[in-house]
Amino acid sequence: MRGSEAATQALYDEAPEAGAPVSEQTDGTADSGHEVLAVVFQIRGDKLSVLLWQRARRPYEEHWVLPGGRLGAVEGLDVSIRRQLAQKVDVRDLTHLEQLETRGDPGRHPQGRILATAYLGLVPADIDPVVPEDTSWHAASELPDMGFDHAAIVHSGRKRLRAKLSYTNVGFALAPPEFTVSELSRYYRAALGHDVAATNLRRVLLRRGQIEETGGFVPSGRSGGRPAALFRFRARRLEITDAFAVLRPPAGA
Amino acid sequence: MRGSEAATQALYDEAPEAGAPVSEQTDGTADSGHEVLAVVFQIRGDKLSVLLWQRARRPYEEHWVLPGGRLGAVEGLDVSIRRQLAQKVDVRDLTHLEQLETRGDPGRHPQGRILATAYLGLVPADIDPVVPEDTSWHAASELPDMGFDHAAIVHSGRKRLRAKLSYTNVGFALAPPEFTVSELSRYYRAALGHDVAATNLRRVLLRRGQIEETGGFVPSGRSGGRPAALFRFRARRLEITDAFAVLRPPAGA
DNA sequence: GCAAAAGTGTTCGGGCTACACCCATGA
DNA sequence: TCATGGGTGTAGCCCGAACACTTTTGC
């Protein structure tokens, strides 16, 4: 629970009043007027869930928004979102983080134009980060009333994740270090939103060299059944495993 | 040639001196301290080429950089890059434009941290935009000395284009309104960097419903040969034509 | 007729799906 | 021994690559 009290208050720093200069300080800690947000997904109980924070202030009071905040003047975008997720919502266990999109519509923020760069972050299914009180997980398929353009950003993230599950090994970022194929198929089902047959998933991911057996087994439960073999992802960094689905280079190249 | 003189001077507005406040104005026209850039590709003579502008001032004097400039305070990102390409390099005929990435490394700009959002723009092969004197097309495979992190951004754009040629209909944005299959295969070859057999390209794109015959023909040249049928892309907006290369939803869904 | 360029037919292989069948365990 | 869940074998389909062959033109 470290830091969650202070974290809550600072979670979503307000913009300066409309019309005020974006940046008044000139020292190295001046903020840049640029926002960094994160769509953090985790599979929780058969649902793809996203971490949201409930605003206590206008505008969009009581609405839910993405975690994040102002970019510091001397930090990189990815460094910033990592810092803010760690400091403000106590999320330190991202297995994957990638840039999603930058939004800059003049109308996206009622207090004047604020640019926001959104990231897509993934947390594996086996951990349960302690998050502040006003922060919680919501099923991506049943989003609550959200502020600003954040709902649209969540949809972008969902789309990106779905696409990458098809041609990369992102699965590693959703799954725990070791898992059975049927567990894995549950993660894929939740993230993709449609059924994924365990029997074929195993073969696809094995053929692509994404997963391998650990040698371990999970004993069967009370209802019987054959013990399930444990697998792990061979790489725990993003790799494109099916680069040229079509129009691939000729064999001799 | 309209506006190309003035355009040149304004092409790449300098950042304020390092250490000065990012924004000093508070009226609606204050700039935001945010840069917008574009990787504009066109197939020119069997080469994928990118539009670059040669800097006349330090830093990176004489180096080549991407066209773009400061984001106005009340314009959207995409609106801004369209405006700047039109005003500054006289490029108005983009057949496709999409956001690429945002870079914000503190060290990317010697005069202090400046965020830049890059777009990927495509110009069809049949037009030849009149560009200012210090602006010219360069083969993406033989980039000149480039300033800032712009070479890396070009590579991101190239990568994005290559990937999208495989599973979308982006080809429409590279090709003229009508074309023969062998012309089209040249565009694909240039963009992908490897050989693309016209005979199979035709079948792939026909099966996917991307292209259709116009009914017209191109007479054969002096050296003979059968006249080539003319084709067009059925859609001239980006569509994903091969969504689930794998892990596609079950038939009954 | 011959070369050149476009277009078609056909075969092959790979990858994914579906589904039947076999295996290992608990009660 | 039966139900349960895991795992394997196999057949079918679709897609794209390769390549031989046919068609239509200019000279």
**Average pLDDT, rounded, for chain B:** 85
**B31 at interface of A, judged by CB pairs closer than 8 A:** no
Structure tokens, A145: 């009333």
Query: Which residue has tokens 């945002």?
Result: B102
CB atoms near residue B19 (< 10 Å): 10
Contacts of B99 in chain A (CB under 8 A): 101-102
Mean pLDDT along residues B211-239:
94
Does the nearest atom of strand D lie within 7 Å of A223's Cβ?
yes
Tell me the nearest-neighbour CA distance from B222 into chain A, angstroms: 31
Closest-lying nucleotide for B245 based on CA to C1': C16
Q: Which of B158, B105, B244, B248 is nearest to A99 (CA)?
A: B105
CA B201 to C1' C25, whole Å: 53
Contact flag A117-B102 (C-beta cutoff 8 Å): yes
Our measurement of the distance from residue A190's CA atom to the centroid of its chain's CA atoms, rounded to an integer in Å, reads: 14
- Residue B244's pLDDT band, with cuts at 50, 70 and 90, is low
Q: Do B232 and B212 touch, CB atoms closer than 8 A? A: yes
**Average pLDDT, rounded, for chain A:** 85
- Residue B145's pLDDT band, with cuts at 50, 70 and 90, is very high
pLDDT tens, A95-141? 999 999 999 999 898 888 899 999 999 999 999 988 899 999 999 99
**A28 at interface of B, judged by CB pairs closer than 8 A:** no
Identify the weakest region by mean pLDDT among A24-28, A209-213, B63-67. Answer: A24-28
Nucleotide C19's nearest residue (CA vs C1') is A199
SS3 B86: helix
Query: Which residue has tokens 């565009």?
Result: B187
Q: Do A153 and A100 touch, CB atoms closer than 8 A? A: yes
Report d(CA B32, CA B26) in Å as an integer: 10
Within 7 Å of a protein beta carbon, the nucleotides of strand C are 3-9, 15-20, 23-27
Report d(CA B169, CA B236) in Å as an integer: 8
φ, ψ at A34 (rounded to 5°) = -110, 140
Q: Do A94 and A55 touch, CB atoms closer than 8 A? A: no
Report d(CA A227, CA A216) in Å as an integer: 10
Does the nearest atom of strand C lie within 7 Å of A225's Cβ?
yes
Report d(CA B242, CA B249) in Å as an integer: 13
- Residue B150's pLDDT band, with cuts at 50, 70 and 90, is very high
Sort strands B115-122 and B31-44 into parallel, antiparallel or unpaired: parallel
Q: What pLDDT is attached to residue B245?
A: 59
The residue of chain B nearest to residue A24, with distances taken between CA atoms, is B21
Contact flag B194-A253 (C-beta cutoff 8 Å): yes
Domains, chain B, in order of start with CATH, read 4-164 (3.90.79.10), 168-233 (1.10.10.10)
Q: How far apart are the first and last CA of chain B?
A: 54
- Residue B73's pLDDT band, with cuts at 50, 70 and 90, is confident
β partners of residue B164: none
pLDDT tens, B30-42? 556 899 999 999 9
